[in-house]
Amino acid sequence: MPFVARQEPFACEHCGKQVMPLPRGSYRNHCPHCLWSKHVDEAGPGDRASLCKGLMEPQAIDQESSKGWVIIHRCIVCRKESRNKAAPDDDMDAISKASSIH
């Protein structure tokens, strides 16, 4: 499966803040400010094969021994859930707010 990196800055469609790319080698798939993501991937991270393009709301936070913090997103359009590793510069306040949802 081809890996398509999205390394240019973009404006978050949920909070409107500018999102800068992570350093080389890391794939950012959610906003570090509000943790919302976008349903662009279908089968795996970075494939951008989804036709949905719905916004994905952070539902819960999990801590996995192998990956560290994992954000569970759910698409507000098609309800698809996905698990995404938290980025090093994610807003920890937003993470703790999201983890208190459940």
Residues that bind Zn ion (CB under 5 A): 12, 14-15, 31, 33-34, 39, 52, 54, 75, 77-78, 80
CB of 29 to Zn ion, least distance (A): 12
Report the distance separating Cα 67 and Cα 22, nearest Å. Answer: 17
How many C-beta atoms lie closer than 10 Å to residue 39's C-beta? 20
- In the complex, the smallest distance separating the C-beta of residue 8 from Zn ion, rounded to whole angstroms, is 16
Q: Which is nearer to Zn ion, 38 or 85 (CB)?
A: 38
Query: Smaller CB distance to Zn ion: residue 20 or 64?
Result: 20
CB of 88 to Zn ion, least distance (A): 17
Cβ partners under 8 Å of residue 48, min gap 6? 4, 6, 40, 41
CB 20 within 8 A of CB 9: yes
Nearer to Zn ion by Cβ, of 64 and 83: the residue is 83
User: How long, in residues, is the chain?
Assistant: 102
